[in-house]
Chains A and B, each alone.
Chain A
C-alpha cells in the first residue's frame, strides 16, 4: 500500500553544500537573532543613558559654593538697648542683619584689593538669602558674642553656584535680575583669592526643603525622615497582616468560592494603579476619618494597602516552597495544624518572606502618585520632628514627593537638586534590593 503512493526517489543532495533555500533560511535566522540582540542592546542603552543622566546631573547637588566672611556683629544694630536681653535681640528681623553682611563683604573686597563698581548692597546679592538668617540664628544662640567679629561660611546664591558649576554663564544671564555681570566679576575675584569655593555640601543630605527663592539651601533630610516614618508604618502593618493573610490562604483556607474571590482579588489589587490607592486614602483616611493631611501616618497607611498584595504573593510563594513532608512530620508527632505552621513552616519560610517584604518596602519607598493626593507635596517641612508621634502625625514630605516638588519648580537649580535627590533615593533602593538578594542567596534552600 505504501509503495503505491510513494514519490519517485528525490535527488540526492550533499550535506556539505548549502542549498539556496538553506542559505536564505539561515539569513532569516541571523536577522531574527539580530533583532533580539538589538532589543537587549536598546534596553541596556536606555538604562545606561538614564543612569548616566542621574549621576552627571545629580552629582552637582552634593557640591555647593560657599563664601567665607568675617562678620562684625555690631552691637548698635543688634542690641540697641545694650542689655543683651534675648527678647529684645529677637525683635531684630533678618532684614536688620543684611547691613552686617554688606559691611563684611565690602571689608573683604577692600582687604583683598578687588576693584569693583558694585555698591555694597548689590554685593550681598551673591550670597544666599539664607545668610542673614544664619547670622541671626548664631546671634540668638550666642548673644554674648555681640560686638565681636566672627568668621562665617555662607552659601552663595544659586546663580553664583550655577556659575561655578557651569550652569550659568555671562550670556545666559541677560535678563536675569538676580545676578549681574559685575557680580560675576566679583565672584571671579573672590574665587581667585580663595574666599569663595565649591565644596561638599552635607546640608543637602541632612537639611530641609527651602522656599522657591533659595534653592541653594534646600535639602533632602526632612523628607528622608518622612519616608522613614512611612516605611515604619508600612513595615509594622503590612508585614504581620500580609503574613497572616498568606498563612490563612496557603495553609488553612478551604477550596471554595470565597477563597477564590479573595485570591483573584489579591492578584487584581496588585495591578490596581497606585493613584487609585491615593484616592482611597484621601476619601477614607482624610475625608472620613479626619486623620491629618500630609501626615506620614496616612502616607504609610495608603502604602500599606498598596504593598500588601506584593507581600502576600511573595509570602505565599515561600510558604508553598516548604515541602509538605515538614508539615506531615510535625502533625505526625501530634502537633496541631496551627503548631505545625507556626513552629515549623513559618520559620523555614522566613527568609523568603523577609526578602519579599524588603522588595515590597522598596517599591513603596519609590511610590509618588498616591502621596500627591494626600497632600505630601507643596509643603515645606522645615523642622525635623522631635518625637515618634509628631513624626507620624505632623505634616511632612517624602523623598519621591520632595523630588517631584523640586521638579515642578522650573528652576535649573532645583532640577539639579531633584536629580541629586534621586541619587539618594536610588542608593536606598539599591541597598534594600541588595540586602534582599543577599538574603535570598544566603538562606535559599533547595528542597
Chain B
C-alpha cells in the first residue's frame, strides 16, 4: 500500500478516535449532566474529528499537487541539453525519466529487485528497458545513462518529499487531535466552531466554480504561451491557411477555421431561430393547453438527445440525403453535381439547427411569457389582432431577451463539437459554397489532441491556442447574452 493511502487511513482513524474521546470527555467534565454542556455532545465529537482530519488532509492534498511540480523542476534543471534528440523536446525526455522512475518503483514492489539493487543499477551492465518491460512498464527507447541518473534522482527526491510529508502531516493531525479533545469542556462553544468549519467547507465548494474557471484559463494560457514561443502569433491570427505538418513548418492560422465555424453556426441559426421563435410564439400565444402539454415536451426531447446522436444523424442520414438531392450527377434528384461527399457545411449546419430549435424555443418561450399580460390586453382592447399584438407589442417588448437567447444559441453553435466532427469534414478553406466540406475550431482541437500527441510541437500546442480563442469567444457571447437577459428580466420584475 502506498504511503499516501496509509497516511489517509491513519488520519481517519485518529479523527474517529477524537470524535468519541471528545464527546465522552465533554460529558464527563460536565459531571454526566448533558444540560450543562453548551452544545450537544455530537458537536464536541465533530469538532475534534474536524480539527484532526481537515487541516491534515488539506495539507496532504496541497502537498500531493505541489510535490511533482517541484521535483520535476529540480530534475529538469539537471538534464543536459545534449540529451534532447533532434526534433524532440525536454518534455519528452522528462516523460521518459518519469516512466523509468515509475518502472523502477514497480520493480521494487514486485520484488524483482530490492531497493538497494535498483539504486546500483547501471546502463552498462543491465538492460534497463528489458527489466522494465518485464514488469509491464514500456519505455520507448533504450535508457541512456543520464536518463537513468535523472530517474534515480527523481526517485530519491520523491522519497524525500514523502518523508517530509509524513513528518509534517502526522504531527499536524496529532496536534489538532490533542487540542480539540482537551477543549471539550462544557464552556466550549463546540457547535459554533463546528458550524464555522462547515461554513468554510461550503465556501470552498462554492469557490470550486472559480477554481474551475481559473483552471480552464491557466491550463490553456500556459500551453498557448508555449505555442506562441514556437509559432509566430501573426500567422495564427492573421495567416491565411491551415496546413499542419508533423515534420514542422506548418501553417497554423485560425482564420479558415473561424470562417468554417461561423459559416456553420450561421446556417444553424438560420434554421433554429425562425423555427424556434415561431414555435415559441405559437406555443405561448396560440396553442391550447392540450397542444402545449403535448408539443412542448416533445420538442424538448430534441434538446435532451446527446450530440453524438446528432453527429451520426448528420453523417449517415442528412449528409447522404443532401448528396442525393444536390449531387450524384444524373442519378441525383436534381441531376446536379454540386455535392460530392456527405460531410459539408450544410449538413452540419442543418443538423445543428435542429439541435438548437428547442434551445431557442424554450428560451424565447420564457422570455415571451415574461411580457406582462396587461400589454397584450391593452393591444387587443384597441382592436388589434393577436398577430398584430405579437408583432408590434410583444416581440418589440421581448426583443432584448430574444437577442440574448439568439446569442446564447450562437455560443452553443460555435462550441458544438460532435456534430461538426462527424458532419462538417476536415478541409480548412475559405469558401462560400455550403455544399463543400469545411472544418471548424472544435474539430481541429479534437484532431490535434487525439492520437499520438507531442506536447512540444506547435502542431499539438495550437489546440490550446484554439481552445483559448474558443473559450474567449463563447465567454464573450455568454456574458453579453446573460447581461441582456438579466436586464430584460429586471425590467418586468
Contact = CB atoms under 8 A, between A and B. Distances in A.
Contacts, number: 265
A53 B415 CA distance: 26
Given A247-B202, A273-B414, A377 B306 contact: no
- Most chain A CB within 10 A, of B198, B204, B207, B306, is at B306
B223 A368 contact: no
B20 interface: no
A418 B275 CA distance: 29
A288 B91 CA distance: 12
Contact of B309 (A50, A240, A337): A50
Nearest to B295: A40
A433 B212 CA distance: 27
A49 B317 CA distance: 10
Interface stretch (A63-71, A88-96, A179-187, A264-272): A264-272
A276 B467 CA distance: 6
A39 B274 contact: yes
Interface string A160-179: 00000000000000000000
Interface string A176-206: 0000000000000000000000000000000
Contact of B199 (A242, A248, A274, A278): A248
B301 A47 contact: yes
Contacts of A308: 208-209, 212
A331 interface: no
A44 B279 CA distance: 11
A272 B475 contact: yes
Contact of B209 (A47, A266, A276): A266
B65 interface: yes
A426 B390 contact: no
A368 B308 contact: yes
Interface string A366-380: 111100110101100
Contacts of B282: 33, 35-37, 39-40
A378 B445 CA distance: 16
Contact of A369 (B212, B307, B388): B307
Given A28-B385, A32-B390, A276-B471, A249 B206 contact: yes
A43 B357 contact: yes
Contact of B450 (A289, A365, A378): A378
Interface string A56-76: 010000000000000000000
Contacts of A425: 306, 308-309
Nearest to B478: A271
B470 A273 contact: yes
Contact of A275 (B195, B209, B415): B415
A49 B295 CA distance: 16
- Most chain A CB within 10 A, of B199, B208, B285, B450, is at B208
Interface in B118-173: none
A284 interface: yes
A419 B312 contact: yes
A138 interface: no
A105 interface: no
Interface stretch (A142-150, A216-224, A320-328, A400-408): A400-408
Q: Main SS of the interface on chain B?
A: helix
B475 A47 contact: no
Nearest to A412: B316
A361 interface: no
A208 B65 CA distance: 35
Contact of A290 (B98, B309, B361, B482): B98
Interface string B205-219: 111111011011001
A425 B205 CA distance: 31
B489 interface: no
A426 to B, nearest CB: 7
A416 to B, nearest CB: 10
A435 interface: no
Given A38-B278, A248-B206, A262-B206, A283 B223 contact: yes
Interface in B309-326: 309, 311-313, 315-317
Contact of A248 (B195, B205, B306): B205
B482 A245 contact: no
B283 to A, nearest CB: 7
Interface in B253-303: 274-279, 281-283, 285-286, 295, 298-299, 301-302
B312 A248 contact: no
A383 interface: no
Given A39-B282, A269-B213, A279-B463, A262 B305 contact: no
A271 B411 contact: yes
A336 B189 CA distance: 13
Interface stretch (B6-14, B29-37, B239-247, B416-424): B416-424
Interface size class of B (residues with CB under 8 A): 35 or more
Contacts of A57: 316
Contacts of A345: none
B276 A39 contact: yes
A373 B446 contact: yes
A368 B470 contact: no
A338 B206 contact: no
A242 B212 CA distance: 13
A29 B219 contact: no
B451 interface: yes
Contact of B387 (A28, A244, A248, A264): A28
Contact of B281 (A26, A36, A43, A284): A36
B342 to A, nearest CB: 11
Interface string B378-389: 000000011110
Contacts of B386: 29, 33
A407 B449 contact: no
Nearest to B415: A273
B179 interface: no
Contact of A400 (B198, B278, B306, B442): B306
Contacts of A271: 408, 411-412, 474, 478
A375 B450 contact: yes
Given A271-B478, A290-B98, A305 B464 contact: no
A252 interface: yes
B358 interface: yes
Contacts of A236: none
9 contacts: A36-B279, A43-B361, A244-B204, A245-B202, A245-B205, A248-B199, A369-B418, A378-B450, A415-B312
Interface of A: 25-26, 28-29, 32-33, 35-40, 42-44, 46-47, 49-50, 53-54, 57, 240-242, 244-245, 247-249, 252-253, 261-262, 264-269, 271-280, 282-284, 287-290, 305, 308-309, 312, 336-338, 362, 365-369, 372-373, 375, 377-378, 400, 403-404, 407, 415, 418-419, 422, 425-426, 429, 433
Given A275-B445, A275-B467, A368-B306, 9 more contacts: A53-B313, A262-B206, A267-B478, A267-B482, A273-B412, A283-B220, A378-B451, A415-B316, A425-B309
